[in-house]
Amino acid sequence: MRLAIIGAVLLAAGAVAVAVGALPWADLVALVDRVAPILLFVLAMTVVTELASEAGVFLWTARRLRHWGRGRSVVLWLLLAVFATLSTIFLSLDTTAVLLTPVVVSVTRQAGLPALPFALTTVWLANTASLLLPISNLTNLLAQHSLGGISPAGFAALMWAPSLAAVVVPLVFIGIVFRRDLRKRYARIPVRRIRPDQAGGAGSVPAATDRVLLGASALVLALLLPALVSGVPVWIPALAAAAVLTAVFARRRPQVLKISMIPWSLLLFASGLFLVMETIRQLGAPVVLSQLAGQGQGTADLLRLAATGAAGSNLLNNLPAYLLAEPLADSPQRMAALLIGVNAGPLITPWASLATLLWHERLVRMRVLITWKGYAVFGLIVAPLTVLAAVLALAAARP
């Protein structure tokens, strides 16, 4: 509700800007043409992942990860880290924060393991692993447009090295700080004997009771993922997948289909933010910001831009930080550096990314206590190291 209220205020402010001429009508039309397909993609993917979760896809995977961990905490942690990374890359950071967090917490609780290292792994990877593909993060989709509609393969070729560094650094930090917890062992249970509540628990994804829904959802995801990186506008396969799953659920479990499944608050917030940020850009904010971000192509210049993006994300939020600095990213290398800052840098303040707020909301529901002070202390160490490593990897991989 709070996000929706903020979005409504932003939309009203944007409407005023258009009315008084601060945002010219032609620029408004261009903005709508740019962001409408992106918001449609966000809507469709939210429906797809919510229905896949209802069908038990995440639960099914979690049960097997616990079994494959073979009673060793560190193995389970690494398996869940891989799961979180793949979820972020192919299904977006919000999916990892919203749908994977309850699964991860429940699996670790039922295994008798401390939740903190696993929960931190989930939220950090939800942010830092979102560099590789356009679909991984809303900022990436915006950047793809600014890069002239670069293909997913071309985007991955640009971002693979910083993406790898941004995944490794948080994992190394957690592996060192929580090494005692990760040495623990847990009881091994054959996967067929893990009860639904043992892998899911309160506040998690519901148990998979319908094999048709589970199979259909898994098949839709299996077909969707390659379609999303095929070069076709991503909203088309996402919308098709949402339509197919909606039809299947309408026949087998219609009570699941609710209007609340559509992320109205997020769409309202994003729409209002786009309007306000475009107005601020028209008023010359990027010119002022360029004094901080610089203009060069050298490693120091890239680090300067990335640091500006990271600082802006933690002060405001990663989406407005990106939108304000986007005009300064006038080359693929500088765009990559900006994405490093706004994707891998928002690890300090709770509002730095929406995914972090959604993650914390899920933890509160499951009565997992993580203070923002402790989160910020860890983030003050991890965020600069991650951004630095990713920028150095970007510079080293430069042709």
Note the pTM of the prediction, 2 decimals: 0.88
Instruction: pLDDT tens for the chain, 399 residues: list them.
Output: 677 888 899 899 989 998 988 888 998 999 899 899 999 999 999 999 999 988 988 888 888 888 898 889 999 999 999 999 999 999 999 899 988 998 898 888 888 899 999 999 999 999 999 999 999 999 999 999 899 989 999 999 999 999 999 999 999 999 999 999 999 998 876 555 445 444 444 344 444 468 899 999 999 999 999 999 888 999 999 999 999 999 999 999 999 998 888 888 888 888 998 898 889 888 877 777 777 777 889 999 999 999 999 999 999 899 999 999 999 999 999 999 999 999 999 999 999 998 998 898 888 888 888 889 999 999 999 999 999 999 999 999 987
Residue 253 in contact with residue 51, Cβ under 8 Å? no
**C-alpha separations of 332 from 130, 163, 231, 353 in Å:** 17, 15, 18, 23
Coil, strand or helix: which one is 185?
strand
Q: Domains of the chain: which residue ranges? A: 2-396
Spatial CA neighbour of 122 closest among 399, 347, 319: 347
Q: Map tokens 């707020």 to a residue.
A: 357
Q: Give residue 160's pLDDT.
A: 97
Spatial CA neighbour of 387 closest among 178, 131, 78: 131
Q: Give residue 189's pLDDT.
A: 66
User: Which residue intervals of the chain are DSSP H helices?
Assistant: 2-20, 25-55, 57-68, 73-91, 93-95, 101-110, 116-128, 138-146, 152-177, 179-182, 196-199, 211-228, 235-252, 264-282, 285-293, 299-315, 318-325, 332-339, 354-365, 372-396
Q: Give residue 130's pLDDT.
A: 97
Residue 100 in contact with residue 91, Cβ under 8 Å? no
User: What's the CA gap between 325 and 289, in Å, rounded?
Assistant: 7
Residue 65 in contact with residue 83, Cβ under 8 Å? yes
Q: Give residue 136's pLDDT.
A: 95
Extract the tokens encoding 340: 């490093």
Q: Give residue 190's pLDDT.
A: 58
